[in-house]
Structure 1
Amino acid sequence: MEIRAKPLFVQRPVEASFSVRQDGVRNTNSWWHFHSEIELIGFHRGTGLQFVGDSISRFEAGDVVMVGSNLPHCWRYDETAESNATVEPYSTAIHFQPGLLGEVFMRLPESGGLVQLIDQSARGLLLRGAGARRVADELTVVRQASGMHRIIALLHCLATFLEVQAEAQPLSSVGFDYRIDRMDEERINKIYGYSFAHLGQPITLEDVADLVGLSRTSFCRFFKRRTGKTYVQFLTEIRIGYVCRQLVDKPQRPVKELCYASGFRNFASFHESFRQLTGMSPKAYRSQAQQITPRNFHR
C-alpha cells in the first residue's frame, strides 16, 4: 500500500474538547503527517513499522505510543496484518491539545509531572509490557465515557501513564528538527511511498530526487534536514525492517534470499547492516523470534 501523498489534518469535533477514535481498518495513519494535538495511541492487533521523528522501529499489538505536538509520524502495518474490519479494531487513539486543561491547572503543584510528560512527548514515547496494558485499559475507559466523565477519564489515563513513565522509551533523537511545512510533507510522503513500492529493486538517489523535483544535492540536503538521517540510512532501515518481518513470518526462507529480495545487492553489506540495526545476526534474530514476539529495532 502506498503512503498517501496528501496529509490528513485531524480536527477535533466541535462539540468535544478532544477526540477519541478507533481504527477498524489498518493503515489509517500510514502517511507522514503531524498535528498540533498530542496523540496517545494503543495498538490492539497487527504489527508493522512506525516512523516517529527520525526514529524507524517496529510496533506490535499491545504497544502504546505518545506523540508530541507537531512531531511527524506514521504507522505502516505489515501486509500480513488481518484486514477484516468486523473483528477487534486495530487501534484506539486520543488527540488532545497541550493546553486542554488550562494554564491554571497546569501550574498546580500536582501537575508538575504532567507538564514534564508533555515536554518529553516531543520525542515520542513508547510503552510496552505491563505498563502499556495499564494505559491501554484506561484508553478504553476514555473511549466509553462521555461528557464530564470523559475529561476525568483522560486525566486518569494520563496519571496512569505518569505512574509507568519510567518504562517508556523515547523514540526520536533529542536534536531532531521537526519544523516542516505542507509542501515538505507532501514530498516526504512521495518519497516514502516510492521507497516502499520499489523496496526490492535498485533505487538511486537520482530516481528519488527526480520524483520530488530536486537535484541530487538538494534532495540529500532536504531529506537529511527533514528526517534527521540520510536517504541511504532510511532505505537501509526499512529494508532491514522487511527482512525482520520475513524472518518471523517465513522462517524457512534462506537469509541470502531475503537479502536480495529486500533490495540489497551485497550479502556482506546486508549482514553488517542487519547486525548494526538489531544487535545480532539474521540467524540469531530468527532463532530469538521463534521464542518471543518480534523484537523492536532502532538505529
Structure 2
Amino acid sequence: MQHDVGSNSDVYISCYSLNIKESGLSGAHYTISDIRKSIETVKVTSSYRHLHIEMKNSLCVCFSTLDITWVNGLEHGELLAGQFTVFDSECPISYKVTRVGSLCFVFIPKYFYEGVLQKQMVRCGMFEFVYVDAIRFILTRVNSKEDGEQLLISELLALGYLLSVLERKEEAVGKKVAFEDKVHEVIKDNMLNPSLYLDDIALILGCSKRKIQHCLSLQGVSFTKLVTKYRIEYLAEQLIRKKHSRIDVLCYESGFNSPGYASNSFKVIMGMSPKEYRCRYLAKSSVF
C-alpha cells in the first residue's frame, strides 16, 4: 500500500498502544480508555531496525503490507505481505524491510488475556487463530487510517477479542496430537519446577514412565537432557529480558537447583557462559 507521507523509498510505520480497563459492575466487560499513536517513516534498508517502543507486559500484533524478516528475542522468522503475527514486547523486536510499504504494530496489555493464552498466541506454534480473515480485515482498516476515532476504538477492541480465540492446529485438520508432541509440551509447561521428575510427567499424561522413555529414546534424547535443554532456552531468554538481574537468581528461576550446574550446562549447549551470552546479545542488539 502506498502512502502520501514520505518519499517513494519510505516505509510507513504506525504504532497503536492500547490502555484497556474493565467496565461494568461485574468487571466482565472491557473498554479502551486510551490509545497512544505514533507514526513515522523510515528508509528502505538491508539492515535490521529496532522497534523503539517501550511497552512492557504487552503483546505486539504486527501487520505488514510487504514481506519482512523479524527478530523477537531469541526467535526469528519471516512475515509475508498481508499477514500478521504476534510478538512478546518484553523481548527486543527488530525488523528488516527491503521495499516500500507499511507496517502496523498494535500493543495489547497482557492482562487482557490469561497467562496460558498469552504463550499460545505468541507466534502460535501449536495453535492457530480461528478468525484469521476477520483479524486481517481489521488490521488492514487500522493500517489504512481511514476510520474515525470511535470506529477505530471499536475495531481495536474487537481485534483484542478475536485474537483470543485459538485452536490446536492438529484439531483444525481433524488429527490427534502426536504423543511425542504431548510429552514435549507437558515438559515445557512444568520445566520451571526444580523438583520435576519423570514420574510427574507420567502422572500428568496418564501413562507409564517406560512409554515416555521409549518415546524420547526414539528421538535420541533422555528425559534429563530434554528438561535441561528447555531450561537453558528459558534461561537464555531471561538473560535478555531481565538484563539487570543477577545470573544466579535467574538460574534458580529457570528451574535449576544449582547455578554452577546451570552455567556448565549453558556453556555446553550454547557454546558460551551465561554472562558471555548476555554481553554478546546486548552488544549486538545495540546496533539496531
Normalised by the size of structure 1, how large is the TM-score? 0.40
Normalised by the size of structure 2, how large is the TM-score? 0.41
- Normalized per residue, the structure richer in strand is 2
Structure number with greater Rg is 2
Give the structure, 1 or 2, with the largest relative contact order (CA under 8 Å, sep 6 or more).
1
